[in-house]
Amino acid sequence: MSESPTVVDVTATGLTSTPVQQAVELARRHGPLYVRRYHGRDVAFASSLGLVEELSDETRFAKGVGPALQNVRGIAGDGLFTAYDDEPNWAKAHDILLPAFAMNSMRTYHPHMLRVARRLIASWDGRFTPGAAESAPVGVSEDMTRMTLDTIGLSGFGYDFESFGRTDPHPFVEALVRALGHSQAKLARVPGGDYAAEDGQFAADALFLARIVDEVIDARKAAGDTSTDDLLGLMLNSPHPGSGEALDEANIRNQVITFLIAGHETTSGTLAFALYYLLKNPAALHRAQSEVDTLWGDTPDPEPSYEDVGRLRYVRQVLNEALRLWPTAPAFQRRARFDTTIGGHYPLGAGESVVVLTPMLHRDPVWGDNVEEFDPERFAPEAEAARSPHAYKPFGTGERACIGRQFALHEATMLLGMLVHRYRFIDHAGYDLSVKETLTLKPDGFTMTLAARTPEDRERSRSALRELTSLTGSAGPVNGAGAAADRGRDGLPARVLPGTALALLHGSNFGTCRAYAEQLGEQAAELGFDVRVSPLDEAVGTLAADTPVAIVAASYNGQPTDDAHQFVDWLTQAGPDAARAVPYTVLGVGDRNWAATYQRVPTLIDEGLAASGASRLMERVEADASGDLAGSVRRFASALRDTLLERYGDPRSVGAGDTAPPPRAYDVVEVTGGPLDALAARHGTVAMTVAESADLVDPAHPLARPKRFLRVALPDGVTYRTADHLSVLPVNAPESVERAAAVLGVDLEAVLNIRAHKPGRATLPLDRPVIARELLSRYVELHDAPTAEQVALLAGHNPCPPERITLEQLAADQQALAERPGCLLDLVEDHPALRGQLPWPALLELLPPVRPRHYSISSSPAASPRHADLMVSLLSAPDRSGRGTFRGTGSSYLHRVRPGDTLHARVQPCRDSFRLPCDGRAPVIMVGAGTGLAPFRGAIADRLERLRGGGELAPALCYFGCDHPDVDYLHRAELEDAERAGAVSMRPTYSKAPEGDLRFVQHRIAAEAEEVWRLLEAGAAVHVCGDGSRMAPGVREAFQSVRTKFAGGDAAEAEAWWRDLVTEGRYVEDVYASS
């Protein structure tokens, strides 16, 4: 029997300027489920825990984009939080951006967050007049907005809004706040009203926001920056991991605006509410002060580390409680996937929606009888564990919950801790809370004054904490972990019995759990274990009673990670003896803020192994990414070490670890943090050693075009898959650096110290001495064509009027600039009055930051797991400017390096679609020319290894373009051996010694059309690698001609057929231009 909820018609009274607070008041009167009617438009509101538990069921409900978010689409389009579920850009952007919020990425944002936090503190310090004990009032909500906007701008997009250098808010913020206010105000409109002026302002604001964001995007593109270490870099340079599709420019703009809204409006409100409640609750403030003072001591200017933020547990509880009382994103909508009923009696048709009123959910009776009081102890770990995970929803729910919640909480926890440590807060005006609504919530008109805390203040807070600890027996809020590291070691063996195996298994999407498993493996190897580290999926059905197993696993939206699906499926179906007597333990990594799915998969693995007969080495340990993650892992490692040594230790080694080391003559500390650190961090590179370097062709042959073979040793922890790329940071040639110095009129031996006043050059060696030669060699591009902005800057520095006019005219004529040959240095050389007129700050604005070059790895990890091979053609051609010979920066660098040299590089995964089938069952046709052979050499080695292992292979053809059989049939002996073994059929062509008319690969493909068509009909996939301007188009035409020959039809049908192959992933290109 169905029962309708109360319908409350507010048409007569209207919607107020604070519609969320109005909805809360209606819920207090009419209960946890009611319908608000306004001019015939009905909206259902739900707020009880029972109802929200139902609405959070992803099998029954999805995100609904209600009227408010539909209005926001006018500025944010199909961004992550305004997109409809069925819009393809949501899933595409979500999957591309997920790595931006992995733990490793969060570490890269931490310095930006700290930098902006210091700006806020400097601004607040500036509110003190000399000699005054108390500051002038600070506008809390306004300053929190400045801080969070600058943080998301710098961390996410490399753009500095410089909000603390402005008296008024940045125009972007003003336009954004107006647009959000307009989106909310539209909800209260009366039918037939005249809103043309308001809509016109909204349209103007939308255009302004889009223009600012487009400028940020264009600046990144113009810089040639192809890194993927922030949100904008991922969107511009990372294809979708499954489809290989990139985000279109309009969607990138929408995502940037989305993150600028979500990344600063909600976080700033959270901080302002938290400061308000600390101001009004001295006991909570003192507890927070005790925590930060214990962690950071007496210095008023601590240097919070990334790990420190996780140790601020009580500060995080303060933020959580502020979000409970006033969730700054105060509602979310749930849409029924099919006809259903909630609350046992309220029917919902498919597509109908209900709004979850989060402030009232957070006042459900499950929170106790004092729900209006501020009490951070509600978020003590034991209290959270006892409460339904659906009782707390400040970030939404399910797969459409806020993707950036960890970013926001890390930023807010760090800043709140720093403010609590530095200042006493004074309620100078007796402020009473008034909540302002512009879709998000924040305190309105909230000001306070400040006083500097003294060492005596901090000692009193620590003393209070010590007294509390002595009374309660508690270890206190921070730093109780260290002592456990060495506990229980006395009397243990120092190493295990020879030949003892240990399996470290990981379930990891973004590398965190894998990194911890590898770290544990290194520690175990030092104890003498024979260690194997591998994904969980590789352990299906292989667990053995004589090999202890340590598992490090996480969940992804409550599901197993990509490398653990098969293991979890196996475990859920395994019988009671499937893992009999296997000794195991589990370290579960998760984020307690995702309460509904926290530790779900680690728990499932732990309980599943126990049910399958395995024996726990020790109890499962939970590591919380929003807490002291590193400390939890450290304690797990310590306990695991003791447990393993107790069970598997060599009794002969007892006491061996207690021998005192011999006295040392010296203590040597290696200084860390070299000048290349920023460059490496920006591009994710690590130092690698060149193991081999040799010519691939005879340089003395008249037909030879230089090609080089490199073998690079991979550092521990760096792996690759066949067809991946190695992204290498090049070094400019010495002759290029000498020429640049001569043209620019600079001293290469000058020692510089660079300080940045705006973002965008994070790759430069800042705040440390650097020699000009090193700067021009490693950090900037010297051969890029000039942009209009660069030419205009040159004009501004040119003291010669005729030259200045010429440059100004060139800057204004895009076509002339595009057609002008040569690079920026050529342009400077053509205007000699510029020599010596460009100071270093101007030069650093002019010269783009160095960017990585990408090369296909030509080896197979099956045959060469610890080395990556490259084959590199030297790009060498007459310079278009007429000045001698142009040589590519990256290729000439790799032709110069020799064995023992260090290069900075990272493994860049190729598109999954370009990887050749590894099962050997599907035919494959490989097409490459010159060094385009690289990924196919690795694939052929994979096939050879499969044959040696007794596997079967489908046919594989490799069309390979060379100049001459005696000159550049690269790796000929190796490939012919593989051909004789049956791994491949090589089909070379020789442009300088053709067999008949077969000069290029496309000619031979057309000549062998019957065989090619037979393989295509059998499902063959075509993989093409090489020059994208000449070779690849010719190969496409060849395959289309094969289709026309055997299937008929015209050119349009052949092209449509080819496009279908591309769509199906059966025709994949990895093409490039050399550099």
DSSP state of 138: E
The torsion angles phi and psi of 559, rounded to 5 degrees, stand at -110, 160
1005 CB neighbour count, 10 Å cutoff? 26
* 402 annotated ligand-binding residue: yes
Dihedral class, residue 278 (left if φ above 0, else alpha if ψ from -120 to 50, else beta): alpha
From CA 756, how far away is CA 767, in angstroms rounded? 8
Q: Which of 145, 151, 258, 266 is catalytic?
A: 266
Amino acid letter, 1065: G
Alpha-helix runs per DSSP H in 389-505: 405-422, 455-472
3-state secondary structure of 74: helix
Q: Which of 259, 402, 510, 910 is catalytic?
A: 402
The torsion angles phi and psi of 426, rounded to 5 degrees, stand at -125, 125
Tally helices (H) and strands (E) across the chain: 37, 35
Amino acid letter, 742: A
For residue 176, the surrounding DSSP H or E stretch is: helix 171-185
CB 333 within 8 A of CB 350: no
Q: How far apart are the first and last CA of the chain?
A: 73
Query: Which among 505, 522, 905 is positioned nearest to 720, based on CA atoms?
Result: 905
158 CB neighbour count, 10 Å cutoff? 24
Query: Which among 76, 757, 876, 932 is positioned nearest to 439, based on CA atoms?
Result: 76
446-472 b/e (C-beta count within 10 Å ≥ 16 → b): bbbbbeebeeeebebbbeebeeeeeee
Tokens 């930006």 correspond to what residue? 112
Is residue 395 flagged as an active site residue?
yes
Is residue 962 flagged as an active site residue?
no
For residue 744, the surrounding DSSP H or E stretch is: helix 734-744
Say how many CA atoms lie within 13 Å of 263 toward its Cβ.
Answer: 25
- The CA-atom distances, in angstroms, between 245 and each of 113, 166, 222, 399 are 31, 40, 22, 21
From CA 890, how far away is CA 732, in angstroms rounded? 8
CB 33 within 8 A of CB 45: yes
Alpha-helix runs per DSSP H in 240-354: 249-262, 265-280, 282-296, 306-311, 313-325
The four Cα atoms 555, 559, 563, 566 give a dihedral, to 10 degrees, of 140
Beta bridge partners of 346: 342
- The CA-atom distances, in angstroms, between 487 and each of 490, 491, 561, 568 are 8, 11, 34, 34
Is residue 889 flagged as an active site residue?
no
Q: Residue 358 burial (CB < 10 Å; 0-12/13-18/19+)?
A: buried
From CA 42, how far away is CA 1016, in angstroms rounded? 57
From CA 256, how far away is CA 504, in angstroms rounded? 39
Question: For the chain, how big is the Rg over CA atoms in Å?
Answer: 32
685 CB neighbour count, 10 Å cutoff? 21
Query: Which among 749, 845, 859 is positioned nearest to 792, based on CA atoms?
Result: 845
Query: Which among 962, 1035, 1032 is positioned nearest to 1005, based on CA atoms?
Result: 1035
From CA 564, how far away is CA 584, in angstroms rounded? 16
Q: Which of 395, 510, 914, 960 is catalytic?
A: 395
CB 431 within 8 A of CB 446: yes
Full DSSP string of 401-419: S-TTHHHHHHHHHHHHHHH
From CA 874, how far away is CA 422, in angstroms rounded? 58
Strand ranges, E, within 629-681: none
Active centre residues (catalytic): 266, 395, 402
Per the annotation, where are the binding residues for heme? 402
Per the annotation, where are the binding residues? 402
